[in-house]
Structure 1
Amino acid sequence: MLPTGLAGLEAQLWVFLVAMIRPGAAFLAAPVFGAQNIPVQVRLIISLAVGIPAIQQVPFDLPAAGLVTVMGFMLVAGEIIAGLAIGFAVQLGYASAMMAGEVIGNAMGIGFANMVDPQSGASSTALGQFLSILGTFLFLAMNGHLMLATIIVDSYHSLPPGQAWLGQGQMRDVVMFGGDMIAAGMAIALPVGFALILVQVVMAMLARSAPAMNLFSVGMPATILAGVVLLAIAAPAIGDGIATSIERGLDLARSLASAKGG
C-alpha cells in the first residue's frame, strides 16, 4: 500500500517507480503509445496515471532490503517481461497491416517508394505506411488504447508485482501468434496482390506478342492504376481484416494478463 506522510516519502517514490514499470513497458511495445514521435515525458505520465490505481488493487510491499537486491531485481524483471508481453501482443496484431502494405506495394511495383514510419522510425513502403495509418485509426476507433489500459490494470489481479512471471505456454502463444499474423497479413493482401499478379502476367504476354512495345512505359502505369482501383474496391475487406487482427492481438494480451494460455 502507499505510505502516507513525509516520513514515508522515499518509500512512496519507490512505489511510484515500481508502479510505472509494467505500464511503461507495455506502452513502449504497443502501437500508438510506442511511436517515436510520442514524447517520453507523456509516456511516463500516462504510465504513472495507469500504474498507481492498478497497484492499489493488490497487496504490495517493497522488498525489505530495497529494490537494489536480488529480490528487487527479480521484481523489476517480472514487471518488465509482463508489460512487454502485453504490449507486444497488441503490436503483433497491428503489424499485419504493415505487412499487407509491403506485399501489395511490391506487387504494384512501387516497393522502391519508401517513407519513414513514425511508429518505429524505420523505412517502409508508401503503401505500407498508408495501411499502417489506417490501422492506427482503426485501433483508436475501436477504443484499443482504452482496452490496453484496462488490460494492464486487470493484469495486477492475476499477476501481482513479484509474481508476474509468464509461463512457457504463454510465451509459446506469443510466438505462434506472430506466425498467425504473418498469415493474416498475407490474407489481407491476397485479393489485391493476386489480381496484380494477373495484371503482370497479361503485361508479360503482351510483351511477348509485341516485342517492340516498351513494357516499362506501359506495364508499370497500368499496374499502378490497377492497384489503385483494386485498393479502392477492396478497402472495406482490408479494413475488416486489419480490425480483426488488432482484436486478436487485444484478445491475446487479455489472455496473457489473466495468466491463461498454452
Structure 2
Amino acid sequence: MTLTDTQLLAWVQQFVWPLIRISALFMIAPVLGARAVSPRIRLLLALLITVVVAPLLPAPPVTALLSADWFSTLLQQLLIGLVAGFVLLLVFEAVVMGGELIAFGMGLGFAQLADPLRGASTPVIGQFLTVMATLLFLALGGHLILIEMIVRSFATLPVGSAGLGIDQMGTLLRFAGIVFSGGLQLALPLVIALLTVNLAMGVVSRSAPTLNLFAVGFPVTLVAGLMLIRAGLPALQEGIVQLLDEAWVLLGALLRL
C-alpha cells in the first residue's frame, strides 16, 4: 500500500498539532513546566499524551507545509497551550507576591532563596508559600485537571478553527491583575498585624528611649511574624484554593469548556 504525499502529510499533522498544543502547555504551566523538571521528561510526557489522544481526535484540515495556513495553525496551537499554562502561572505569581509583602513586613525582604519553580530568587516567605501552593495544587489534582482541560479543548477549539480571539485575550489581560490583587488578599491580614507590632515597638521605644530598638525590634517582629503565619495557615490555604478556583473558571471560559 502506497501513501500519497497528501495522506502522509495528513497523518503527520494528526499528531503534530496536538503535540504542539500540549508541549506549549508544558513549557509554561506551573509544576509541569518548572525548571526543576527536565525538558526530556516534559517532552516524553507530551508525546505520551499525544499518542493517546491524537487518534481519538477528528482529522484536522490538511495544510501545505510552510504555507500561510500552516503558520496560522501553528501559532494558534502555541497560543492555546501557552495561555492555558499562563492562567495557572498567574496564580503562583500572586502567591509569590503575597509572600514578598509578608517578608518585607517581617524584615526578611533581604533573605532570598533560589526558587526552582520560577528559576529566580524569591524571599524566604514567598518560597514557603510557593511550596505550600505547589503541594495544594498537586493534592487537589491540579496537574490532572490541567491536562484534562487541554485535552478537552480539542473538542471546543479544534485544530484549524479560529482559536482564541481578541475578546479572550482581553479577558486574560484583565485577569492578570490577580497577581497584585490576589497577592494583597493573601498578605493583607498578616501585614496589618505586623504593622500593629511595629507600632507597638514604636510606642515602647518612646517610653524607654534607652532601649535599642534595632537590637530588640527585629527579633520581636520576626517571632511575631512566624507565629502569625502559623496561626494564619488555614486562611492562607483557603486563599490559595480560592485563587486556583478563579483560575479554573477563567480557563474553562477561555477554552470554551
Whole-angstrom CA distance in 2 between matches of 1:78 and 1:204: 57
Whole-angstrom CA distance in 2 between matches of 1:71 and 1:104: 49
Cα-to-partner distance string for 1:190-216 (whole Å, 9 max, x where unaligned)? 111110011111112222332321111
Cα-to-partner distance string for 1:124-168 (whole Å, 9 max, x where unaligned)? 101100000000000001100010011001111111112252122
1:81-160 correspondence runs (5 A):
81-160=79-158
In the alignment, is the contact (CA less than 8 A) between 1:75 and 1:161 conserved in 2? Answer: yes
Of 199, 217, 220 in structure 1, the residue corresponding to residue 218 of structure 2 is 220
Farther off after superposition, 131-140 or 17-26: 17-26
**Which fold has the larger relative contact order, with Cα–Cα distance below 8 Å and residues 6 or more apart in sequence?**
1
Of 208, 211, 215 in structure 2, the residue corresponding to residue 210 of structure 1 is 208
Query: TM-score, normalized by length of structure 2?
Result: 0.92
In the alignment, is the contact (CA less than 8 A) between 2:91 and 2:178 conserved in 1? Answer: no
Query: Given the alignment of the two structures, is residue 183 of structure 1 paired with residue 178 of structure 2, yes or no?
Result: no
Q: Which secondary structure does the structure 1 equivalent of 2:232 belong to?
A: helix
> Partner residue of 1:17?
16
In the alignment, is the contact (CA less than 8 A) between 2:103 and 2:126 conserved in 1? Answer: yes
Whole-angstrom CA distance in 2 between matches of 1:48 and 1:257: 21
> Partner residue of 1:44?
43
Query: TM-score, normalized by length of structure 1?
Result: 0.90
- Amino acid of the residue matched to residue 59 of structure 2? P
Count matched residues: 254
Q: Which secondary structure does the structure 1 equivalent of 2:177 belong to?
A: helix
Farther off after superposition, 112-121 or 86-95: 86-95
- Displacement of 1:225: 0.4
> Partner residue of 2:243?
245
Whole-angstrom CA distance in 2 between matches of 1:16 and 1:30: 21
Identify unmatched segments of 5+ residues in structure 1.
Answer: none
CA RMSD between the two structures: 2.1
**Identity of paired residues, percent?**
36
Query: Given the alignment of the two structures, is residue 30 of structure 1 paired with residue 23 of structure 2, yes or no?
Result: no
Whole-angstrom CA distance in 2 between matches of 1:52 and 1:248: 31
Whole-angstrom CA distance in 2 between matches of 1:24 and 1:238: 32
Of 145, 166, 169 in structure 2, the residue corresponding to residue 171 of structure 1 is 169
Identify unmatched segments of 5+ residues in structure 2.
Answer: none
